[in-house]
Amino acid sequence: MKPPKTFEEQTECIVESLLEEFLGLPVKAQNQRLQEQCLQFQYCQTQVQRKCPRTYSLESQDLQRQCLENQGQQRQCLEKQDLQMQCLENQSPQSQGPQNDVTDSGEPSSFDVTIIAARLQMLGDQINAEMEESVEKVMKEVATGQVVTVLQNTLKSLSQTWCAQDPNLAYERAFLAMTVKLLKAVSRKNPQTARQLAGPVRDAINENTAVREYIMDQGGWENLES
């Protein structure tokens, strides 16, 4: 598996890696658990049919419904799994062959999503900002589907406020730190909302010209220091 090429693809991998870390439940493991649950329901369904054929149609309806619900969740996991596995397979040399850890030009890739995500977490940990009100505001907007603008404005305001307290802190670094802290806070409060926030977080970084140029000036994500 070749590493993500574009800035946008790299940002998406990094956000997914952060989300996995904050939620503590990799997509692959979640998908496996859903498969096991569905197999259990199917087994119970078979037992009902064998022991009591006359009541099978009635008693099995609830089992079938639960299994279908699990299959729906399973499909959602599978939709995310391709990108997630691409990110995971590029995390360490032990998880991939030498031929996968190269760019199209044949040069070794320095993009390691695990290291980059860890640096961003360290960056976020350096800032001890009160974010409860901002977190609640963003979570509320996720439910309405109008979160993108609110998220961008919230991160901008938090970053500017913190920079005013610490003149030595670059706005772009403050923005990245606040982004990580906010995603982590939402993950702890509501994992489902955090999953819905992954896309807007990615877009907030990609569409912030100042932050994007700052990262590129450092030599890309792989050279961003904590």
The pLDDT value recorded for residue 98 is 35
Task: Catalogue the long-range contacts made by 51-56 (C-beta closer than 8 Å, 24 or more residues apart).
Answer: none
Q: How big is the CA angle at 105 (ends 99 and 109), to the nearest 5 degrees?
A: 55
The yes-or-no verdict on residue 93 having pLDDT over 70 is no
Cβ burial, residue 73 (10 Å; 0-12/13-18/19+) = middle
Instruction: Give residue 176's Cα distance to chain centre.
Output: 15
Structure confidence by residue, pLDDT tens digits, 159-178? 999 999 988 999 999 999 99
**Is the model's pLDDT at 115 over the cut of 90?**
yes
pLDDT over 90 at 2, yes or no: no
Q: What is the pLDDT of residues 20-69, one digit of tens each?
A: 999 985 444 555 556 666 666 666 556 556 655 555 455 556 656 665 66
Dmax over Cα atoms in the chain, in whole Å? 77
